[in-house]
Structure formats: structure tokens, C-alpha cells
A and B are shown apart, each in its own frame.
Chain A
């Protein structure tokens, strides 16, 4: 969400608007948490850099090329059960193996990974996974069912990172190691997206972790669950081995020669993630031949890079929707006609072309176009003051009653710009809008209670697992009330029913009509301005092949799929 087109949201913004940094967590999935580390600059704290030089041309596993990934954000935690944001996930899913893995198509499908295959019982709750027998951890231990069981337990007990995905769905005691290579998981209720969440469940080496756990910790017999050790070491089985981490300077991962999977020819056998402070520095590294940049650089920078030869910029609108929630339980926004009027008043053209650079999509309804079950034939709002006025006339309010508040996250200039745009649009309509900045932390608190929730709240709805449920349930199901993801306090029993049903229905083909119906109702109720689905940018060296943006946090950077031409 920070690859926004005219606002250069880079490290400095993190420092300056810490809270903004936090929001980035959620959306682009790059936590503000990191910024503390990244306050150390492009060369960090000057700690020893003996065996690795900056261009990442360090001793590579088995003769392959080395890959330099330049980013302006630094990870906070490399603990697979703590990491939750973009860069963390990049490292984690290259070092750890989940049971199932995303393909690089958009929207992504699932492919076998540690689990060779799996079956879902008819109850829709019992999942049986057959692990591949040739998978070993980096220390040589075989990957066993009990490691999987342990990983679930560790995830759910630490209650950190991605654990929210399974809270109320999966509890450790419902995970059983049937035998060495068979795991059975029983969800507390039918949860259709379950499989799609598993790519975020990394499997760790139980013995290794327990062996390195510090005795003093919050987890009783498990001490600290080895979390501090895992910051600088890995207990995974993935294609790469964490070979060096210099906080806020660089992370080096080396090819795992014993990996069960296969690398392409001309693979990259060593990947250095270089953390730099300024987007200018990042651009410089790219020109000097770095293989890939992250997606947070200013638009101008990407344009400059594109100008030069042997760098290409990949831009694609995938799963990055920007909503402006409207408080459906407070006058005058409790009147659907008012909400529609506002939806008609907003200048989407200016938003997409002047505030943005024109390559973001205008959202049709709540779902990004790239997500399956998205439907085209929805009422989509364009700026049309007559229509707006017409809607107002149908409502029991007049334009002068529109005295609203728009709250956005400190430091996100795009959100500010959108607010200012809406402000002038509402003026044209005859209403008025006050634009207000608030730190992310305060916003989560505000959204917890309908009285403190602002009239209108600008939100990038973060993307996690590849399922429509990610967008719809947290935003529009009344169970989600109190979370910033449902700041509209939208209450529609039919939608509730549909969304629950969508979760309960296992077969995708059966779920599609359900979600289409839900989208239609939501779009008509206009509980939010569905402003845009923002394009994601990455700069790549021409020599890099095999890059696919499947739009999933961290899964863009699947280095073991990359190769030189």
C-alpha cells in the first residue's frame, strides 16, 4: 500500500510517522516494527562484515549465481511464529517449508509442499496430510509429523505473527501425528479457506528449537520457545539456509543443497537481502546491478530505473484494495442514500489518475478484480453529481447535514490526498468534511467501539491468505465488529449469513455464487467508498527470470523459482 504513486513512502516516513509504519504492517505487510531496526542505516551499526561483501557475492552454496535483493524496510523478527510482514515473510518462506505452498499464478492456487497430498473428510473439518519422506531440516533431522504438530502448538501458544488466522479454528490438541509422516488436523468448525491459510504455517524442527530455548520465558516448560535463538538461526527445512543476519544491514541466505525440492538451472544459490535507508540508495544499488528491489520505492524512482537499460519495472494491481469506510450506524451515514450520494460525489478519475499514476484499478465492489469469485456486474460508482443529488433527495437528509469526519493514518500522504479530494467533492455537493490524521495505534482503539469510530476511515485492507474470505469476512461480517477491518459497523443479516455459509462451504464452485451475492448486496449498500486496487511495483534486473507477482505478501520473492536467462 505504500507503493503509492505520488507519495514516496520510504524509510524516513517510518521514522517520522512511526504509527504509519505500523499500519504498513497490515497492508503491504511491512511492519512498522521493523523501522526501529532500520533506523540503523545502510551499513547498520558497523558490526563486523567479515565474510560477506555488500554486493552479496559471498561464498555461494554450489556454484550458482548470487542474488541481491534491495529493500528499504528491515524485518523485526525472523521467528517463523512471529514474523508477519512482507520482508519477514520473504525470508521465512525461503528458509522454512509450510505444508502447502502457493503457486505463482494470480490468484494463486495451492501446490503440495511438505505435504505430498492431503484429503478433507466429508465433515469438512478433518484434514489428513501425508508428508513427503525425503524432507530434512537444515541440521539433517527428518521432518516428521510431530514437528508439524509442535509447530501448530508453538504458533497457537505464542499467539503472535499469523496465529490470528487459526484462532478459534485450530487448536494444538486437535492436531495429531498419526504416524511419522501423517498429520491429522481437525478444525473446530468448517473453515473453507483453511488450506489456503497453511502456506503461512511454517514447520520448525522441534528438537532443535527446544534444545535452544532459553529457560526463562513466558511459556512455562518451553521457556522462551527458542524465540531469541531463532532470531539469528533457523530451524527450517526450506530451499535456503539462513547463513547470516546483520540486524538492519543485511540478511544472507544460502542454497540448501539437501533440499527435497529442485532448483532450476542457473539458479541463485545465495540471496543477500540488503537493507538500505533511502530509496535513492536502493535505486543506486539497482543501477549497480542488484537483482531486485522491493515495492516501497517512490514512483519517480521506478520511472528513473525503467529509463535505464537492464532494469525493468514490474507493475501489477493484485490484492491491495483501498476503502473509505462509512460508519453505517451513525447519522447521516446510516442512510444508504447518503452513502450512495457520497459514493457518486467522489472523483475517482482524479484519485486514480492525478493522485495515483493511472495504473491502479478502480475497485468494483469490495473484492479486487484478481480474486476469484469477483464479479463484474455490480453497481459501480463514478463521479456524477446529479445522481448524487438524486440520492440525497431520496434520503431524509439534506446536503447541509453532511458534516463528516475523515480519519486517516499519520504519514500516509495518499490517504491524506484522498481525504482532501473527498473534502472538496463533498463541498461541491454542499456538505463539509474535516480531514483528521491519527496514529495507527489510536485508530485500532477508535475502531473498537462504534461511538469512537470516525464517520469515515481510510483503510488499506490487508491481504493474507488467498481467499475471498480474507476481504469479505473481516470487513462485512458483524462478528468482526470492533476490528479496524470492519470500521463501517456494517450490519446485514443476509450478508452475515452468506459469509458464514461461504466459510462453511468446502467446494469452491459452490462458494462462488455465495460470494457474488454477498458482493452485490454490499456494493448496493455502499458501506464504503471502494476507491481503488493499488498497483504493486518491483524493479528487477533484466537478467532475472522466473519472477511472477501472485500478489501474496512475501510470496513474490520465491527466490528458488528465479533463475538467470
Chain B
């Protein structure tokens, strides 16, 4: 309809274009109120993570300051004013433990993704930029990883390493990087086609310069989007491993572990599994909302 695509000599100029992009971004974000909601949820959890000791009614029940408390005489009290989410088999306040669990989950998410990205992106860049045999080989390797569901592989890896929290995070990262390698690889290929990379090569730019100046900026958007989407999923996998009995050591509150322990007391003590699970659900939901919003904003397709 409009002639916005026809760009002629008296072109608005970069500044104008920027403003237009900004408009577009804002427009898209407005189109997707969920992303704002997501942002709020995430902020909420971050807030909880930071101020858990002040919000939680019984911080010691969550092992705060290495002063873990147990009250076996109060075990399995149903939700009430003083125990919003009830108590567990050690009489600990589940509400407090869920709040403190936020710290762990966020940490896992961040560490895992940081690791995954710092392995995956370089691999993808190298494979994509060099192409040829090396590229093929690298991508084949990533394909191997991608042919097993992350949870399964992570399970195997974290058992292969002594199962403790750090190794669980390592394990998840170890099965995660291929996705970023794939993504980066794809982006690099498409970017490579574009002439200006050729150009900058033409004027004798070093490969590294090309990578950092031309390619990296282009893969940034999709990676950011994927990260925010994966954040939730990584937390989910970690929780699943916790559910399967791998993960944080007691008395550290870990949502997945809590859910699985609660199962032993179902249905009578329904609250034990229910509330930690709810927390997992909410945080993952938040990241999905946010990631989806970002996807619309940057208008990139990541799977």
C-alpha cells in the first residue's frame, strides 16, 4: 500500500531509519502485552530471589545462613496463616523454601545458558565461517547431540559426573550448546551470503574482524531471543533432574526435588508437591512470555 519500501536519493537517512525501527519495535511490543507480563513475572522472581531472607517468614527452614532448622514435631501441617504453603516431612515452612528456591533456579538458568552460549556460539561461528570439512564435522557432532532428548542426555551426563548441583548444571550445558551452535551456524551462513561480508573480505579484512564486526552483531538478536526462551526450558530440565533425584543437596530447597518428595505423601499432603511445582510453572511461563515478546520485537524465527 504505502511507498515505504521505495527508498530514493533523498532517503530519510540513518537517524530516521533508526526512529522507524524503534517505532516498529515499540509497535510490536505493544502488539504483545504478554511480553510485558512476562517481564513483570521475571522481575518479580528476581526481586524474590534478592530479598528472600526478608520476605520468607522462616528463612532458616530454607537453610538460610547455613542455619538450617527442622521441626519434626510440626511435620505436614496443612496450609495456614503461619505456613502459607504448609510444612514438609521435617516440619519446615514450604513457603519459605519455595521463595529461596528461586535463587537456585535463576542461578541454574543463568549458569547453564552462559556456558551453553560460550561453547555453542564459537563452535557455530567457526563451523559456519570456515565451512568445508571442518564445518561439516563440527555440525555433524552437534547433530549427534541433538538426536537425543536433552533431558535424557543430561540425565546420563550428570550421572556420569558425580551427581551434584554443579555437575547437573554442567550436564545441562553440555547438552545445550549444540542448539546455539546450530543457530549461530545458520545465521553465519545466511550472513555470509550477504555482500558486505564479501566486501569487507575484499578490502582485506581479517577473518576475526569479519566475524566480530559483521557476523556477530547479526547473530546477536536471534541468540538473545533463544536465550530468553531457553532460560525457562533450562530451569525446567534442571527441575526434572531434581525430580529424578539429581541436583541440589539438602537442605537446599530445590523445586524439582521438593515436588518429587511431595509425591510420597500424596494425596493426603497435596500441598507439598503443588506449590513448588507452581513456582516452576510460573518462572518458566515468565521466560516464555518474555522470549516470545522479544521474538516478535526482533522479528527473528528461532525454534
On A, residues with C-beta under 8 Å from B are 6-10, 12-13, 16-17, 20, 298, 300, 350, 354-355, 410-411, 413, 416-417, 419-421, 423-424, 427, 432, 434-439, 442
Contact B67 A10 (CB under 8 A): no
Given contacts A354-B73, A437-B250, 9 further A-B contacts (CB under 8 A): A12-B263, A17-B245, A300-B268, A413-B261, A413-B264, A417-B70, A434-B249, A435-B250, A438-B163
Q: How far, in angstroms, from A392 to B75 measured CA to CA in the complex?
A: 32
Q: How far, in angstroms, from A345 to B250 measured CA to CA in the complex?
A: 21
Q: How far, in angstroms, from A42 to B55 measured CA to CA in the complex?
A: 46
B69 at the interface (CB under 8 A from A): yes
Taking the nearest CB of chain B, how far is it from the CB of A428, in angstroms?
Answer: 11
Would you give the 0/1 interface string for B242-267, flagging 1 where the beta carbon is closer than 8 Å to chain A? Answer: 01110001110000000011011100
Given the contacts A419-B250, A439-B163, A413 and B70 also touching, CB distance less than 8 Å: no
Q: How far, in angstroms, from A411 to B249 measured CA to CA in the complex?
A: 12
- Residue with the highest number of chain B CB atoms closer than 10 Å, among A421, A435, A436: A435
B281 at the interface (CB under 8 A from A): no
Given the contacts A6-B75, A434-B249, A423 and B261 also touching, CB distance less than 8 Å: no
Q: How far, in angstroms, from A107 to B159 measured CA to CA in the complex?
A: 41
Contact B69 A424 (CB under 8 A): yes
A/B interface sample: 14 pairs, CB < 8 A: A7-B264, A8-B264, A10-B264, A413-B89, A413-B261, A417-B72, A420-B68, A420-B70, A420-B250, A423-B68, A427-B68, A437-B249, A439-B159, A442-B162
B206 at the interface (CB under 8 A from A): no
**Interface residue SS majority, chain B:** loop
> Which residues of chain B are within 8 angstroms of A7 by Cβ–Cβ distance?
89, 264
Partner of B72, one of A10, A20, A350, A410: A350
Partner of B264, one of A13, A423, A427, A439: A13
Q: How far, in angstroms, from A274 to B244 measured CA to CA in the complex?
A: 27
Q: How far, in angstroms, from A13 to B261 measured CA to CA in the complex?
A: 9
Partner of A354, one of B72, B163, B244, B261: B72
> Which residues of chain B are within 8 angstroms of A9 by Cβ–Cβ distance?
264
> Which residues of chain B are within 8 angstroms of A435 by Cβ–Cβ distance?
249-251
> Which residues of chain B are within 8 angstroms of A16 by Cβ–Cβ distance?
243-245, 260
Contact A432 B265 (CB under 8 A): no
Q: How far, in angstroms, from A435 to B252 measured CA to CA in the complex?
A: 10
Q: How far, in angstroms, from A437 to B250 measured CA to CA in the complex?
A: 7
Contact A350 B73 (CB under 8 A): yes
Taking the nearest CB of chain A, how far is it from the CB of B86, in angstroms?
Answer: 15
Contact B89 A427 (CB under 8 A): no
Contact A6 B249 (CB under 8 A): no
Taking the nearest CB of chain A, how far is it from the CB of B138, in angstroms?
Answer: 34
- Residue with the highest number of chain A CB atoms closer than 10 Å, among B75, B250, B260: B250
> Which residues of chain B are within 8 angstroms of A438 by Cβ–Cβ distance?
163
B40 at the interface (CB under 8 A from A): no
Contact B89 A6 (CB under 8 A): yes
Q: How far, in angstroms, from A194 to B268 measured CA to CA in the complex?
A: 48
B66 at the interface (CB under 8 A from A): yes
B152 at the interface (CB under 8 A from A): no
Given the contacts A7-B89, A424-B68, A436 and B249 also touching, CB distance less than 8 Å: yes
Contact B90 A420 (CB under 8 A): yes
Closest to A356 in B: B72
On B, residues with C-beta under 8 Å from A are 66-70, 72-73, 75, 89-91, 159, 162-163, 243-245, 249-251, 260-261, 263-265, 268
Contact B70 A424 (CB under 8 A): yes
Q: How far, in angstroms, from A417 to B70 measured CA to CA in the complex?
A: 9
Contact A298 B264 (CB under 8 A): yes
The 5 closest A-B pairs by CB, nearest first: A354-B72, A8-B264, A17-B245, A420-B70, A435-B250
Q: How far, in angstroms, from A387 to B268 measured CA to CA in the complex?
A: 41
Taking the nearest CB of chain A, how far is it from the CB of B218, in angstroms?
Answer: 45
Q: How far, in angstroms, from A12 to B243 measured CA to CA in the complex?
A: 12
Contact A417 B73 (CB under 8 A): no
Contact A417 B89 (CB under 8 A): yes
Q: How far, in angstroms, from A412 to B70 measured CA to CA in the complex?
A: 17
Q: How far, in angstroms, from A420 to B243 measured CA to CA in the complex?
A: 20
Contact A416 B250 (CB under 8 A): yes
- Residue with the highest number of chain A CB atoms closer than 10 Å, among B66, B245, B249, B268: B245
Contact B251 A420 (CB under 8 A): yes
> Which residues of chain B are within 8 angstroms of A416 by Cβ–Cβ distance?
250
Closest to B245 in A: A17
Contact B245 A410 (CB under 8 A): yes
Taking the nearest CB of chain A, how far is it from the CB of B142, in angstroms?
Answer: 30
Q: How far, in angstroms, from A421 to B265 measured CA to CA in the complex?
A: 20
Q: How far, in angstroms, from A439 to B163 measured CA to CA in the complex?
A: 8
Q: How far, in angstroms, from A355 to B75 measured CA to CA in the complex?
A: 9
Taking the nearest CB of chain A, how far is it from the CB of B24, in angstroms?
Answer: 49
> Which residues of chain B are within 8 angstroms of A434 by Cβ–Cβ distance?
249
Q: How far, in angstroms, from A108 to B159 measured CA to CA in the complex?
A: 42
Taking the nearest CB of chain A, how far is it from the CB of B258, in angstroms?
Answer: 12
> Which residues of chain A are within 8 angstroms of B72 by Cβ–Cβ distance?
350, 354-355, 417, 421
Q: How far, in angstroms, from A423 to B251 measured CA to CA in the complex?
A: 10
Q: How far, in angstroms, from A417 to B261 measured CA to CA in the complex?
A: 12
> Which residues of chain A are within 8 angstroms of B261 by Cβ–Cβ distance?
413
Taking the nearest CB of chain A, how far is it from the CB of B271, in angstroms?
Answer: 16
> Which residues of chain A are within 8 angstroms of B243 by Cβ–Cβ distance?
16
> Which residues of chain A are within 8 angstroms of B67 by Cβ–Cβ distance?
427
Taking the nearest CB of chain A, how far is it from the CB of B70, in angstroms?
Answer: 5
Contact B245 A411 (CB under 8 A): yes
> Which residues of chain A are within 8 angstroms of B89 by Cβ–Cβ distance?
6-7, 413, 417
> Which residues of chain A are within 8 angstroms of B66 by Cβ–Cβ distance?
432
> Which residues of chain A are within 8 angstroms of B251 by Cβ–Cβ distance?
420, 423, 435
Closest to B269 in A: A300
Taking the nearest CB of chain A, how far is it from the CB of B238, in angstroms?
Answer: 16
Q: How far, in angstroms, from A421 to B250 measured CA to CA in the complex?
A: 12
Taking the nearest CB of chain B, how far is it from the CB of A277, in angstroms?
Answer: 13
Taking the nearest CB of chain B, how far is it from the CB of A324, in angstroms?
Answer: 15
Q: How far, in angstroms, from A424 to B67 measured CA to CA in the complex?
A: 8
Taking the nearest CB of chain A, how far is it from the CB of B265, in angstroms?
Answer: 7
Q: How far, in angstroms, from A427 to B66 measured CA to CA in the complex?
A: 9
Q: How far, in angstroms, from A442 to B164 measured CA to CA in the complex?
A: 12
Q: How far, in angstroms, from A298 to B269 measured CA to CA in the complex?
A: 13
> Which residues of chain B are within 8 angstroms of A354 by Cβ–Cβ distance?
72-73, 75, 91
Closest to B261 in A: A413
Q: How far, in angstroms, from A239 to B90 measured CA to CA in the complex?
A: 46
Contact A423 B249 (CB under 8 A): no
Q: How far, in angstroms, from A198 to B89 measured CA to CA in the complex?
A: 42
Closest to A347 in B: B72
Q: How far, in angstroms, from A16 to B68 measured CA to CA in the complex?
A: 26
Partner of A8, one of B69, B260, B265: B265
> Which residues of chain A are within 8 angstroms of B244 by Cβ–Cβ distance?
16
Closest to A10 in B: B264
Q: How far, in angstroms, from A435 to B251 measured CA to CA in the complex?
A: 7
> Which residues of chain A are within 8 angstroms of B75 by Cβ–Cβ distance?
6, 354
> Which residues of chain B are within 8 angstroms of A298 by Cβ–Cβ distance?
264
